[in-house]
Chains A and B, each alone.
Chain A
């Protein structure tokens, strides 16, 4: 999968990036705000965007999730306080922070299955599917 990472904490983004590459995916970009995320999404057509709920300069990851969904990019949220349902974000699910490398590898498997309309192959308490 081509993955877009939207996360304003650089070291967390680095961890997700290396986990994605480890799992055989390619990271098309790391963004920390809405403008840069939409720019990368427009250029690279990612198969999945992992979007933190709180972005740089107090921008909302939920608003970004809606914009990405409208652009046809499936979104998984990441948050220390996952919303109970997709609400208006139109996300597929949410990854609970803090997460571990195992959560990340499970997340890519689950996201890939959900996007392809298949049942989730695994489950973890840190991952919520809407």
Chain B
């Protein structure tokens, strides 16, 4: 197959054409105005399993020979077929279809159907080029499966991380319960709640279908509500405003959540000496910055408080994490109370 006599034969246009068609790896069909195949090259014979003679002898539209069934076995009428529409529509058509091999098996193909015209521009037939894309489809499917598997594994890892962190938080809580010293109890409770913040962010990561970023604003709202519940100060109201929907990478989200958690817990613990007031959490977002404000109308910070000088662990954590986030953390006297502001650049 594909042999062409050497020498001057290739000077003749028809010989040239034959050489091209005989040796091409693309399958080429020439269809007449009744959608019957009147020529197919050797590649097309190999693709379909039928010889040109068999197709000619069948004396029916090519569609009814190689494209008459959907892969589910139901009939595929010719008038629904995109390839055969190229003829009546006078338009070049490209796409993907599934053909039926002579042996009954289905195979995916990519096709181009180009109407051919006579001197008066009426369509007299169609050239159809076809390529078997089974290998490409398989690769695509393998890739999709690999990506799917990766997602499942990452979800699994997030699940395990969450469980392990939950375990750590529980151990610390248990230790708190078996401790008598109020000061020690307080420290262990704080440690447990800090670990808890990280655990619940990982839980969020696991519950949503995302595996590397979380909707941090939604989480901060939850954090605020939970802090209020565990503080159990009936006179203190919690107010949330903001509609930011910013997703942050998990590591940034953890840093930000720990900072906000410190500020909320600090306000709940120290600001409301009278036992009543309002704690407000405001979130707003611009193109390159996420701003979070924690505002209380309580008793205000101690006189002479300086963020950079404070030796409390809470402030040390806030300083360290804001440096890591390249965030700007500041506070002002809200008269009454204190307003903290964290500005996180999001286009780092």
Contact = CB atoms under 8 A, between A and B. Distances in A.
B320 interface: yes
Interface string A4-28: 0000111101100000000000000
Nearest to B316: A14
Contacts of A30: 320, 323
Contacts of B317: 11, 14
Interface of B: 255, 316-317, 320-321, 323-324
A10 B317 CA distance: 8
Given A10-B255, A10-B320, A14-B316, 4 more contacts: A9-B324, A10-B321, A11-B320, A30-B323
A30 B255 CA distance: 17
A52 interface: no
Nearest to A12: B320
Chain B contact residues: helix, strand, loop or mixed: helix
B137 to A, nearest CB: 36
Interface residues of A, number: 8
A25 to B, nearest CB: 17
Nearest to A56: B324
Nearest to A18: B316
A96 to B, nearest CB: 19
B192 to A, nearest CB: 16
A14 B319 CA distance: 10
Contacts of B323: 10, 30
B81 to A, nearest CB: 52
Contacts of A11: 317, 320-321
Contacts of A32: 324
17 contacts: A8-B324, A9-B324, A10-B255, A10-B320, A10-B321, A10-B323, A10-B324, A11-B317, A11-B320, A11-B321, A13-B320, A14-B316, A14-B317, A14-B320, A30-B320, A30-B323, A32-B324
A9 B251 CA distance: 9
Contacts of B321: 10-11
Most buried by B among A9, A10, A30: A10
